[in-house]
Amino acid sequence: MGEPIASLMLCVLERLFFSPQRCYTTYFYGLYYLTTANGMVYQTFCDMTTDGGGWTLVASVHENSFLGRCTVGDRWSSQQGNNPNLPDGDGNWSNRNTFGTPEGATSDDYKNPGYYDISAQDMSVWHVPNNFPLEHWNLAAILRYHTENRFLSLYGGNLIQLFKQFPVRYNVGSCSDRGPAIPIVYDFGDEESTSQFYGPRSRAEFVPGFITFRAINNERGAMALCSGVKPTGCNNEHYCIGGGGYFYVNQCGDFPSFDYDSLGGDQGWTVSKEMSEAAVLLFYR
């Protein structure tokens, strides 16, 4: 039996009968069944194209409507309204709740058990236009990048452990209390294209080429992820995503204040249409 045929048969058998805990570099690009340490089987997407492969999709952040401010669908901030008495919001950055499907990860929020079960070292992030089918994600992405310094091993091996150290919670600290900023390697795009996806005023207060965790703005609202940038200012709501349960007026949501100019405030903060209409896919390796 030739080596390519044997490899293909092994892949088919793995998909049908074997459910490991993470994606491995011997796999083909696509959907697989994985198993948690406790025996729960779930389906997710494995990326075999980036830096040798082995990347497991664990979550996606999708903005379903800028008209809804912390309403139904804002799972990565709050679905319970903008409420200072619920400072953690839905708390999905640091709990074991799961939702969505891998095939629907660009059409709705997604989180699978790998988010909290996998012990990883690095992350990869794709910004993929909303509603694109899975088989075209890598080609459709407006940005793709990954870390390679094994930073997650310093923070418990996954995001649930990292966010226990850096809670995504209203009034947890001030702007200077942001979490780690990790350098990235671009797989598609670069620092200049990253900057151009954000508003001109935002560009004056971040450095591209990083993933930053738990940023806090002037009004003490916490955001989970500044994907692609490291803040140097405190208006993080215009270029960071996710959050706790309370923000300044008209900022609450999964993409907190990406549409600020349309609200009649100071102009120059709104992100590009490409960025606001792209889901953010999070991978572990």
User: 36-86, pLDDT tens digit by residue?
Assistant: 999 999 999 999 999 999 999 999 999 988 877 899 999 999 999 999 999
Provide the token pair at 45.
């997407």
Q: Are 198 and 142 in contact (CB under 8 A)?
A: no
Chain segment 17-42, per-residue pLDDT in tens: 456 888 876 668 899 999 999 999 99
pLDDT of residue 244: 95
Give the mean pLDDT of 252-281. Answer: 87
Assign 147 a pLDDT band (cuts: 50, 70, 90).
very high
Q: Is the pLDDT of residue 6 over 50?
A: no
Two tokens, residue 215 = 């940023």
How far apart (Å, rounded) are the C-alpha atoms in residues 56 and 59?
Answer: 9
Given a contact cutoff of 8 angstroms between Cβ atoms, the answer to whether 36 and 113 are in contact is yes
Rounded CA gap, 205 and 208, in Å?
10
Residue 138: which pLDDT band, with cuts at 50, 70 and 90? very high
What is the distance between the alpha carbons of residues 139 and 24, in angstroms, rounded to a whole number? 21
Which residue from 230, 253, 227, 251 is spatially nearest to 242, judged by alpha carbons?
253
β strands within the chain, DSSP E: 30-35, 41-47, 55-61, 110-111, 123-129, 143-146, 181-183, 185-188, 206-216, 222-231, 278-284
Average of per-residue pLDDT across 245-249: 90
pLDDT tens column, 88-131: 999 999 999 999 999 999 999 999 999 999 999 999 999 999 99
Answer yes or no: is pLDDT of 10 > 80: no
Within the chain, residue ranges assigned H as helices are: 3-17, 114-117, 137-140, 159-165, 191-196, 200-203, 273-276
Pairing label, strands 30-35, 278-284: unpaired
Calpha distance 81→74 (Å, rounded): 10
* Residue-averaged pLDDT of the chain: 91
Residue 1 predicted with pLDDT over 60: no
pLDDT value for 7: 46
Residue 14 or 158, more confident? 158
| Residue 266: predicted pLDDT | 59
Give the pLDDT confidence of 217-244 residue by residue, as tens digits. 999 999 999 999 999 999 999 999 999 9
Structure tokens at 161: 């452990």
Model pLDDT, residue 58: 99
